[in-house]
A and B are shown apart, each in its own frame.
Chain A
Amino acid sequence: MEPIIATQDLKKIYRVGRVEVPALRGVDLLVQEGEFLAVAGPSGCGKSTLLHILGGLTPPTSGNVLVDGNDFSVMTDADRTRFRRHKIGFVFQRFNLLPTLTARQNIHIAQHIQGNGYNPHRFDAVVNMLGIRDKLDHKPYALSGGEQQRVAIARAVICEPKMLLADEPTGNLDTENSQIVLNMMRALNRSFRQTILMITHNPEAAAVADRVVRMRDGRIVSD
């Protein structure tokens, strides 16, 4: 079976003034569909950059990156945006809900941007699984961190993306809420065969995944 993610000698160099800062120094990674992968490593090791490239938020400097058969290294920004809209869901450490919208509207906006409209069955299934039905009409400021992150997960998976990319999803949560969120992600992976790539520096969080990849200095050091 074709891997859903395949990177080869993936490099990313940021320019800060005249200084070149290599964030990725040649990453080779294969991820199968339905897999729950954790990418662990210390701050500055390049794991967030890897996630941004895999999510099409930024192009690589060199190397190949195939996501669901699409080569991001040759796609335009508009093509990557279109791909992201239909195939990728993001969960962030800081939840990143739109503060002026309710939880329900935050979920709907993803459906609206995708353009396929409201699917009540999918909506009900996701909302019930994440246990946020009674929070749907609350705005983010009225929700706890754990609840906000569950809404963010609902928003990320409502359009049935091929991949869920989670950037330190438990980084801003206490232990209890971290466990709830991790359990939810585990359940999503099992119930919907959702491919998940989760970045974390927390070994306990990484342990929930099927497979853990460790990075250091822009390279994968163990798989």
Chain B
Amino acid sequence: MINRMVVANILHRPVRTVVSILAVALEVGMVMVVVGLTTGLLQETAKRVEGVRADILVQPPGASFFFGLTQAPMPIRIGDRLAEIPRVYAVAPALFQFNSTGGLNIIYGIDMASFDRVTGGFVYHAGGPLAAPYDILVDDWYAKANRVKVGQTLNFLNHDFRVAGIVEHGKGARLFIQLKTAQELSGAYDKASIFFVRCSDPGYTEPVVNAIHQLLPRYQVLSVKEYMSLMTSNNMPALNAFITAMIAVAVAIGFLVIFLSMYTTITERTREIGILKSLGASKTYIVEVILREASLLSLVGIAAGYGAAVIARKALLAAFPTLSIDLTVEWALWAALLAMVGSLVGALYPALRAAQLDPVDALAYE
């Protein structure tokens, strides 16, 4: 019976209902998309690094494992010393260039020969390898998103680059230029941001990591396995703070709208609450009616939020095809829990206020 009354109340005030549902949907959708974007970005970046097929990553001291956040170059000759370590099959240096023209991109400055040796070589969809200093390789996702063709000129780092080839995605970056060009453009002559180290067999990773640690005690040496496990927002304080802030904003929106909605409801329905009290409804009963109403609004809002997240994902991917948005079941459940708890907390004060109403005053309310 309470449920029927709750549904009737919700249907009786459609504008309030729609606004409340939209607020909860916004909350759920926002949480899912923000987390999905960051998780997707991290996972996609990690996958691309894994796609280089190196076993070990060597970076200078204090470098971020989220490439591109710091360039922190180190002497290129370190590569020769790494290559001398037993069971090292190949070493490929790369210099990261952070480009913000026409979107945010990390460009890898690479030495084609060593990079091919570590990765096993690019798969070309069109064109061929880097030949001239201002040649550039773009991956197929970037090419599709930006309608790039071989031979076309692209402006990066305030220079024009000729697209030499379109390669299969998944080899570290989406854009590759020659290492020497990258060094010249950044003034980091004979420097590299990272060394991708491939062992003669992945089983040798641990002894090789130990050997590198001995050789370069202060440097950051990570097996790719470790790197993959570290690529979560929990290991990136700035990203984690951003996610937390966005979730807090989303929850605050849901909480405040439900609070206002239920508070208004109590005022509007003072007389009805008086009627229930005259029939002998206890304070618990009144609180239950209000909280059930908030729960129902929240449930519909959560469902709408899921729909909104899926639609937002599709729209974002259509507009920015290189993005990766990972909508996970885990975060769908977290978003639902946050929305439900936020709604119930938001409805609690109005519910308690309704329960405390004096029945005589409530019945006399105009």
Contact = CB atoms under 8 A, between A and B. Distances in A.
Contacts of B283: 78, 81
Interface string A60-74: 000000000000000
Given A57-B277, A85-B279, A99-B12, A112 B1 contact: yes
A58 B359 CA distance: 8
Contacts of B360: 52, 57-58
A55 to B, nearest CB: 7
B333 interface: no
Closest 9 CB pairs of A and B: A85-B280, A112-B1, A100-B8, A100-B12, A84-B280, A57-B359, A90-B278, A96-B275, A113-B279
A96 B271 contact: yes
A25 interface: no
Contacts of B358: 58
B5 A105 contact: yes
A52 B278 CA distance: 10
B168 interface: no
Nearest to A156: B279
A157 to B, nearest CB: 12
A97 B278 CA distance: 11
Contacts, number: 71
Contacts of A123: none
Given A58-B358, A105-B4, A81 B277 contact: yes
Interface of A: 52, 55, 57-58, 78, 81-82, 84-86, 88, 90, 92, 96-101, 105, 108-110, 112-114, 155
B4 A101 contact: yes
Interface SS majority for chain B: helix
Contact of B280 (A96, A98, A101, A113): A113
A200 to B, nearest CB: 18
A100 B278 contact: no
Contacts of B1: 105, 108-109, 112
Interface of B: 1-2, 4-5, 8-9, 11-12, 271-272, 274-283, 285, 358-360, 363
B363 A81 contact: no
Contacts of A97: 275
Interface centre among B274, B278, B283, B363 (most CB of A within 10 A): B278
Given A99-B12, A101-B4, A113 B363 contact: no
14 contacts: A57-B359, A58-B358, A58-B360, A78-B282, A81-B282, A84-B280, A96-B271, A98-B272, A100-B11, A101-B4, A101-B5, A108-B1, A109-B5, A112-B1
A18 B223 CA distance: 79
Contacts of A82: 280, 282
Given A100-B9, A112-B2, 7 more contacts: A78-B283, A90-B278, A92-B363, A96-B274, A96-B363, A101-B8, A105-B5
A146 B264 CA distance: 31
Contacts of A55: 278
A81 B280 contact: yes
Contacts of B8: 100-101, 105
